[in-house]
Amino acid sequence: MYSGENEVRVAMGADMRCEPPAGVLELLRGARRVGLVAHVTPDADCIGSMGALWHALRARGAEVTVFTAAGSVSRRMGWLAEFCSVPLASDAAVESCDLIVALDTARERRVNVEGGWDRLSGRALLNVDHHPTNTRFGTACWIEPAASSTCELVFELIAALPGEITADIATLLYAGIHADTQGFSLSNTTARSLRVAHELAVGGARIAELCERLHRANSRQEFELLKQIYSNTRVSADGRLAWSRASLAEIEASGCTVNDVEDQVDVPRSIDGIDVAILLTEGIPGKVRVNFRGEGDVNVLELAQQFGGGGHVARAGAMISGSLDEVAERVVRAAEEFVRRRRG
């Protein structure tokens, strides 16, 4: 199935296995100095997939570096890396790697490496991802949109290489699957993602401690930001659309930074009867990050793409230039129209 060309796609059988392409495994086996990168505003699927591969490739004798741009990692994600003994590097030399693996990154411009894509362009690069919008950049790809998470794919990669799934690897992969399925509650929760989670639990994933720290351990500052987002939440007249926002001043007043904006879109999303939930946050003056969430079969990726964004069918995002007021007005108007059209 692996053609040696840019694209590798593997059908996922009813047996719930998802075999990594032989060429991808060969690349990983042959690499001596590997650099791991993922997307900007790293989430648990980024840290989990990079961290697990870091452990697995290192155990097989490779020199491996996890790259993250300086100051880009949230308190929670920093905790996850430390909990599983994964060192994060912002200033190491990408140039000395003979293989770069880009994980969970749909577009080259979204790589979270100091200096950006220009430092990776033209290098041997393996692109492993589950975003349907992946542009298939790099010299080899394994893109599987039916996978719940990139961690689910990395599990298959590690399982196909010699060596064992350690408790750290299991914990990291579990973190990514748990986060991307929102605690096994979204439509990407499949028999296969549950099978992989089962194998990770058997492999010693520290589930209780992980979930406590990822989902029930807000700092006072994060709690203040949540209060602000609750109070800024609005619902459309028909009850199908809910949105909230936080200005830079509000984020700073809570004691948070832009890196602390993660899954707070769950606040407007938690209202019964919502088709679409939106969170608009002004992390940098003049730039507004927009998170879209769709319930049921609502495809918010279409909505995000209207604004140059990307992501998944039920979880998408965009970065839009403009003031918070102006962007909020445009996005909410488009979303109201989107919801109205859907309903017919």
- In the complex, the residues that contact Mn ion under the rule CB under 5 A are 45, 104, 149-150, 180
CB of 150 to Mn ion, least distance (A): 5
Residue in 10, 316, 257, 287 with CA at minimum distance from that of residue 142: 10
Closer to Mn ion by Cβ: residue 134 or 232: 134
CB atoms within 10 A of CB 286: 12
CB of 248 to Mn ion, least distance (A): 27
Helix (H) / strand (E) containing 111? none
CB of 26 to Mn ion, least distance (A): 25
* Distance of alpha carbon 212 from alpha carbon 201, whole angstroms: 16
Helix (H) / strand (E) containing 76? helix 75-83
* Distance of alpha carbon 264 from alpha carbon 268, whole angstroms: 8
Closer to Mn ion by Cβ: residue 150 or 254: 150
* Distance of alpha carbon 62 from alpha carbon 29, whole angstroms: 9
Closer to Mn ion by Cβ: residue 49 or 264: 49
Biggest CA pair distance of the chain:
60
Closer to Mn ion by Cβ: residue 104 or 168: 104
φ, ψ (nearest 5 deg) of residue 282: -100, 95
* Distance of alpha carbon 278 from alpha carbon 179, whole angstroms: 18
Closer to Mn ion by Cβ: residue 45 or 168: 45
CB of 146 to Mn ion, least distance (A): 13
Closer to Mn ion by Cβ: residue 190 or 323: 190
* Distance of alpha carbon 151 from alpha carbon 183, whole angstroms: 14
CB of 36 to Mn ion, least distance (A): 15
Residue in 112, 149, 113 with CA at minimum distance from that of residue 129: 149
Task: Give the tokens for residue 31.
Answer: 């690499």
Calculated CA dihedral for residues 197, 29, 83, 74, nearest 10 degrees: -90
CB atoms within 10 A of CB 238: 12
CB of 170 to Mn ion, least distance (A): 18
Calculated CA dihedral for residues 39, 45, 48, 50, nearest 10 degrees: -30
CB of 259 to Mn ion, least distance (A): 18
Closer to Mn ion by Cβ: residue 39 or 240: 39
Query: Does residue 84 sit in helix, strand or coil?
Result: coil
CB of 73 to Mn ion, least distance (A): 16
Closer to Mn ion by Cβ: residue 47 or 328: 47
Closer to Mn ion by Cβ: residue 168 or 180: 180
φ, ψ (nearest 5 deg) of residue 266: -65, -20
CB of 180 to Mn ion, least distance (A): 5
Sign, CA dihedral 42-261-264-167, equals positive
Q: Determine the residue with CB nearest Mn ion.
A: 45
